[in-house]
Amino acid sequence: MTVGTDSPADAGGAPPHAPKGPGQDSGEPAQAARATGAALPEQAREQSPGGSFAGLHPDDLPDGLVVADEHGRVICFNAAATRITAVPADRALGMPLDRALPLEDLKGRRWWTLTDPYGGLATRRGQPERNLLLPGGREVLVSARYVRERPTGPVRRVVVCLRGTDARRRNERSHAELIATVAHELRSPLTSVKGFTATLLGKWERFTDDQKRLMLETVDADAGRIKRLIAELLDISRIDSGRLEVRRQPVDIAAAVGRHVQVHTTGGQSPDRFFVRIRPGLPPLWADPDKIDQVLGNLLENAVRHGEGTVTIEVAPTTAGDGGEEGTEVTVSDEGPGIPEESMSRVFTRFWRGSKRGGTGLGLYIVKGIVEAHGGTITVGRGPRGGAEFRFTLPVGTPAHLL
């Protein structure tokens, strides 16, 4: 990154409506503006109130920073701005702002002409962030701040922030995929519920009690699917916003594993398909029992549905975190084909599906969010017998008031 001073350079005329300074027509080369490249950051360091930003350099900023002086000449162009615009800093310094950043709006209009930072209303403080186009049609997020010495005085600095749109586009795609998945997953059970209820209401007398019971059981099962999907969406919203609440209380993890195995055996799975190993010396565990049930239920369901052979669940004491705190480690593995190596990095992302056997692809994303909300970690790998192996570790999590 190179930073210039307030000295203007002859780079092809001043920006529209920028007031001329005494040195504007002197014809000094742009190199003069770069001769004291460290001046602006040094001033920033000295003027930092309370020293809270001492040592901060413009190149340390993750976003693009472009600063123009009172004459509309670029005096700061950091490394992120160079990366985003593909304009070298040494070329941008000293140039008029509208030439260093030839921005257009989505209708093809020149942004600096529209906004006129050095003219127009003297009460303006800047421009909110918006999508603009660089030469070649590349989108960039731009916001600007007008610095004045007094509220209605002339503009002394124009500070421009630049950000790439890649992260926003990824978020937009993710939201679009989420909406499409939800619509698809809701359509089937809602169609079933609507069809059976309409049939029963219209032709109640024509069906036997057994037929009515079968229809109502189907409606109940489909309503359960809808309820689970809505619960998943709420969990995702809380995880993404950091608002997932953990209500800690003592949890018997061994008993919880036993309950989930019993659910599967009651549902028709052979008891011989499950092997549970509980290691001695388990520390006490404080966690949210409902959310731990959700984690265990999802991992066992995946092993039963997508795996093969014996499903092994092992619970053992371990150390969690960098401080070596006591914790509990739970491993769930099967003997199926496992997860391909190239897919393991995507297992805990949204919409990942290990097979075509249904599901929203949101379960493991939620599992990871729940484990991390408890201060734990979760990993995936290949089990000793070739299948998928999920291992999560939870710290003791004793509430502070009990320590």
Q: Could you read off the pLDDT of 367-378 as tens digits, one per residue?
A: 999 999 999 999
Beta bridge partners of 2: 77
Query: What pLDDT was estimated at residue 327?
Result: 92
Query: What pLDDT was estimated at residue 29?
Result: 36
Query: What pLDDT was estimated at residue 31?
Result: 41
Question: Cα–chain-centroid distance for residue 309?
Answer: 36
Query: What pLDDT was estimated at residue 361?
Result: 77
**CA-based nearest residue to 163, from 144, 185, 149, 146:** 144
Query: What pLDDT was estimated at residue 151?
Result: 87
| Residue 293, number of CB atoms within 10 A of its CB | 14
> Strands across the sheet with 155-164, in order?
2-3, 74-77, 64-68, 155-164, 139-148, 126-133
Question: Cα–chain-centroid distance for residue 195?
Answer: 39
| Residue 336, number of CB atoms within 10 A of its CB | 20
Query: What pLDDT was estimated at residue 184?
Result: 75
State both tokens at 222. Answer: 């489909």
Measured at the CA of 377, the angle between CA 175 and CA 336, to 5 degrees, comes to 80
Maximum distance among all alpha carbons in the chain?
Answer: 99
Rounded to an integer, what distance in angstroms lies between the CA atom of residue 367 and that of residue 185?
20
Query: What pLDDT was estimated at residue 357?
Result: 56
Query: What pLDDT was estimated at residue 397?
Result: 80
- pLDDT tens digits, one per residue of 158-186: 999 999 887 777 777 777 777 777 787 78
Rounded to an integer, what distance in angstroms lies between the CA atom of residue 131 and that of residue 129?
7
φ, ψ (nearest 5 deg) of residue 236: -60, -45
Report whether 142 contacts 161 (CB < 8 A).
yes
**Domains along the sequence of the chain with CATH:** 2-164 (3.30.450.20), 168-241 (1.10.287.130), 249-402 (3.30.565.10)
Point out the residues of the chain with pLDDT beneath 50: 1-14, 20-53
Q: Could you write out the three-class secondary structure of the chain?
A: CEECCCCCCCCCCCCCCCCCCCCCCCCCCHHHHHCCCCHHHHHHHHHCHHHCCCCCCHHHCCCEEEEECCCCEEEEECHHHHHHHCCCHHHHCCCEHHHHCCCECCCCCEHHHHHCCCCCCCCCCEEEEEEEECCCCCEEEEEEEEEECCCCCCEEEEEEEEEECHHHHHHHHHHHHHHHHHHHHHHHHHHHHHHHHHHHHHCHHHCCHHHHHHHHHHHHHHHHHHHHHHHHHHHHHHHHHCCCCCCCEECCHHHHHHHHHHHHHHCCCCHHHEEEEECCCCCCCEECHHHHHHHHHHHHHHHHHHCCCCEEEEEEEEEECCCCEEEEEEEEECCCCCCCHHHHHHCCCCCCCCCCCCCCCCHHHHHHHHHHHCCCEEEEEECCCCCEEEEEEEECCCCHHHC
